Amino acid sequence: MEYEAVIGLEVHCQLSTVSKMFCGATTVFGQEPNSQVDTLTLGLPGTLPVINARAVELAVRAALALGGDVREHSKFDRKHYFYPDLPKGYQISQYDQPYCVGGAVTIDLADGGQKVIKLTRIHMEEDAGKLIHQEHGAWSEVDLNRAGTPLVEIVSEPEIRSAAEAYAYLMELKRALKWVGVSDCEMQEGSLRCDANVSIRPLGQAQFGTRVEIKNLNSFRAVEAAINHEIAAQSALHRAGRYAEVVQVTKLWDPDARTTRMMRGKEMAADYRYFPDPDLPPLVITAAERERIRAAMPELPRARQERFQREFGFERAMAAELTAEAGIADYVEALVAAGAKPKLAGNWTREEALRLANESGRPLAEVAPVAAMAGLIALVDAGKVARVVAKAECAELLASGQAPEAFFTAKGMIQVQDAGQLQAWVAQVIAGEAKTVADIRAGKTAAVGRLVGATMKLSGGKADPAAVKAEVLRQLGIAG
């Protein structure tokens, strides 16, 4: 029997605020344990929470970037649990009235198509701290720096059907959230975290199977591997007629053993004893406020990717790569504005500028200034500098700070446009390559490339390959 996976992801994303969700303690990453802590973080009696307006603004940006419906009225609730890393004994979250409902993430599929994964909801909440278990000691330590950090939890509908789709969903989500400045989405620093809910069902069956929730997924690759592992485990039980052994539990992914381990039985909402937090007023996000935030949003990555395909004629993969970050897309458009043909702007960004930026760890516009890059592209496009030469010299040119034309002139690399010189070079090559000429006459037209190569070599790279090819064909009396 064939099985189909059903997957829903819950993603926690840390909002890039200076201070915490409900107090003024700071949120700097990597600080001395318990240095980003105040009386509210410690849960001291008499302290009261205050909603961080900046966190709300960023949460609204996230919602709008994902096409969600931002609710005018929402509220904060207390979620109770035994949290050794959250001293007040409950987490402030949003339960039955989240600030955002719906939304969607569109992903590109391997077959060239697209798929829309709907979102159930997005809610705001505070993060917990971190327990550090001594490997051999008898105690654990707690670091409350992260406790109270503002998060949004983005819950997808169970519409993901494979580990690869889950991976694409996370990439797309990260691109959108970084793009609008909501979060840095650094998984290694915990600012993006993902829990995966996985079940399987016989292909064609409408009803969902029992799901397992997997936590501790610390990279996109881990999400992919854990989902595949869980699908295989559940399928094996199914096939063995032991489906009843798939029970709703929470598991932990063990990245070293590449397997999942039982963590706890699944808690249900009732276990958390949710109730509205009496210390906080209901959250009101007016339509005017929401529209003010929307008006300040940039063109979103998916729209920009599609525009690059439409306006610039880019293939999907190229459009996706060049809109992976807003800075890359801005760079390509700056080259186009500086006169480069879009396809050339895209290719030079992809093949040279991005490589230099990655190698040096410096911003694109710094390692490959737009004016110099656009100048280089124009020289190649006009046939003044051979493409191979331009590629070989690109890094040196950009580092030199010189104007491209002056740079190539000084190096004697400007291509010879003189028709008489070109004819002489080609005639010399043809005279010396009788065997190749015979091959071409016998129908091996691919051998023309050999003559073009030999002429390029003879010219010391100064001939224009396209003009050389035309001249070779002309002298051999072959139509181009």
Binding interface with ligand ADP (CB under 6 A): 6-10, 155-158, 197-199, 208-209, 211
Q: Are 411 and 393 in contact (CB under 8 A)?
A: yes
Strand ranges inside 127-222, DSSP E: 130-133, 140-143, 150-156, 192-202, 212-217
Nearer to ligand ADP, 144 or 151 (CB): 151
DSSP state of 117: E
Q: Rounded to an integer, what is the distance from CA 228 to the centroid of its chain?
A: 21
What's the closest the beta carbon of residue 237 comes to ligand ADP, in angstroms? 15
What's the closest the beta carbon of residue 7 comes to ligand ADP, in angstroms? 6
Structure tokens at 155: 């819950």
What's the closest the beta carbon of residue 44 comes to ligand ADP, in angstroms? 30
Nearer to ligand ADP, 269 or 438 (CB): 269
CA–CA distance, 150 with 92 (Å, rounded to integer): 10
Nearer to ligand ADP, 215 or 343 (CB): 215
What's the closest the beta carbon of residue 82 comes to ligand ADP, in angstroms? 18
Q: Which helix (H) or strand (E) holds 9?
A: strand 3-14
Q: Are 415 and 384 in contact (CB under 8 A)?
A: yes
What's the closest the beta carbon of residue 97 comes to ligand ADP, in angstroms? 15
Nearer to ligand ADP, 66 or 345 (CB): 66
What's the closest the beta carbon of residue 124 comes to ligand ADP, in angstroms? 15
Nearer to ligand ADP, 155 or 476 (CB): 155
Residue 156, phi then psi, degrees to nearest 5: -90, 155
Question: In degrees, to the nearest 5, what angle opens at C-alpha 468 toward C-alphas 464 and 473?
Answer: 155
Selection from 36, 39, 49 nearest residue 91 by Cα: 49
Selection from 342, 355, 346, 301 nearest residue 325 by Cα: 301
Nearer to ligand ADP, 206 or 287 (CB): 206
Nearer to ligand ADP, 166 or 329 (CB): 166
Q: Is 149 exposed, middle or buried (0-12, 13-18, 19+ CB in 10 A)?
A: buried
The CA distances from residue 238 to 3, 6, 205, 266, in Å, are 9, 15, 14, 21
Nearer to ligand ADP, 106 or 210 (CB): 210
Nearer to ligand ADP, 157 or 381 (CB): 157
Number of residue whose CB is nearest ligand ADP: 8
Q: Are 30 and 188 in contact (CB under 8 A)?
A: no
What's the closest the beta carbon of residue 158 comes to ligand ADP, in angstroms? 4
Residue 89, phi then psi, degrees to nearest 5: 90, 5
What's the closest the beta carbon of residue 181 comes to ligand ADP, in angstroms? 25
Structure tokens at 229: 């592992």
Strand ranges inside 207-294, DSSP E: 212-217, 249-254, 259-265, 275-276, 283-284
What's the closest the beta carbon of residue 8 comes to ligand ADP, in angstroms? 2
What's the closest the beta carbon of residue 198 comes to ligand ADP, in angstroms? 6
Count of C-beta atoms within a 10 Å radius of residue 420: 8
What's the closest the beta carbon of residue 200 comes to ligand ADP, in angstroms? 8
Find all residues with CB under 8 Å of 98, minimum gap 6, and list them: 71, 74, 121, 122, 123, 124
CA–CA distance, 311 with 370 (Å, rounded to integer): 20
